[in-house]
Amino acid sequence: MLRLPCRVWATGLAVYACLCAAAAAAPPAASEDADGPPLQAAIAGWIAALDDDRFHVRESATQQLRHAGAQAVGPLREAAAQGSLEVIVRAVDVLQTMAADEDRALARAAKSALEELAADRITAASQYATAALGALRVVEQRRAIEDLFALGGAFGSGSIPGGPTTPSHVELKKSWRGGDQRLDLLRHLIQLDRLSIYGSQITDAAVPHLAVLKNLRRLELYGTRITDQGLEQLRTALPATEIDIRRGGLLGVRGQPSDVVCRFTDVAPGTAAERAGLQPGDVVLQCEGQPVADFKAMTAIIATKHGGDKLQMTILRGERRLQVEVTLGEWGEE
């Protein structure tokens, strides 16, 4: 039989005793399928342990609460509102972690709890909750930028892999795959002041997501299916925002609105106008059989058409009158 020195046995017994004591002191872990009263009781125990004198017990309780799910949100909010500074710091930290979770329902509930705590400006809990919300906004913006880019969004004049850290201009063209619903990502962009949306995939279902963008300086809606009613809702919700809405197909020319004739000053490359052979300096005399007085009149005619529609135009190029057929493009063409 192997005999160990007495000091080895003593050391082993001491370590075993410490491990047993630590296990007894730590708050119990809930089973993975625990719900209802058992989980609620466990949550109550973990929250009580946040103020324990022993650091390892407080740390263990904090870790357990981070994975406790939505049932812990309410008790954590109450603990932060009424507890000691130690409890406040740990409860707010757990709520901040939950608010950044991939589970949207959990994230919304935790963020709402932080907002409630932050609403009272005279408590320590409000100060920590306000700081947590500030840090959370940075995380939400980073995620929103990544998601917008993955769905085909662009920033400024073009899309850069990873996107800028604080975009002020977002463009959603025909490559946008998020439809109306994922426009909810835009509310996380802290410094967004210009939004350009092109294409018929955007409808009145987008209005609630756009109406919350109170800091927008300019909103451009080109070729969307937002109705007059939806536009009126946007103008009411965003009175300080310049909203430029253009319906119909895209010709791809520029002109001087103040000119006494409809003269093209520029023809954009790759557009319907270039494909039809239109040139800078051309003057439009008629479109679809209607006289064209100026560039504004031409724009009004095109606004009633859709991408793919054909236009019959009479133009004056120098001293020659030409008949030109144009097949209109669509807003958001890449």
- pLDDT tens readout for residues 248-286: 788 999 998 888 999 999 999 999 999 999 999 999 999
Are 77 and 71 within 8 A, CB to CB?
A: no
Cα–Cα distance, 322 to 315 (Å, whole number)? 5
Per-residue confidence in pLDDT tens, the chain, 334 aa: 444 444 433 434 343 344 344 444 445 555 444 456 789 999 999 999 999 999 999 999 999 999 999 999 999 999 999 999 999 999 999 999 999 998 989 999 999 999 999 998 789 999 999 999 999 998 889 889 999 999 999 887 444 444 556 789 999 988 899 999 999 999 999 889 999 998 878 999 999 999 999 999 999 998 888 999 999 999 999 999 999 888 778 899 999 888 899 999 999 999 999 999 999 999 999 998 999 999 989 988 887 787 888 999 999 999 999 999 999 988 766 4
Cα–Cα distance, 233 to 245 (Å, whole number)? 13
Q: Which domains does the chain have, with CATH numbers?
A: 20-137 (no CATH), 151-246 (3.80.10.10), 253-327 (2.30.42.10)
Both tokens of residue 24?
């007894």
Strand partners, 244: 220
Cα–Cα distance, 110 to 102 (Å, whole number)? 12
Q: What share of the chain is helix, strand, coil (3-state, %, to 5)?
A: 45, 15, 35
Are 224 and 248 within 8 A, CB to CB?
A: no
Cα–Cα distance, 80 to 126 (Å, whole number)? 9
pLDDT tens-digit readout, 145-189: 999 999 999 887 444 444 556 789 999 988 899 999 999 999 999
Both tokens of residue 107?
């994230």
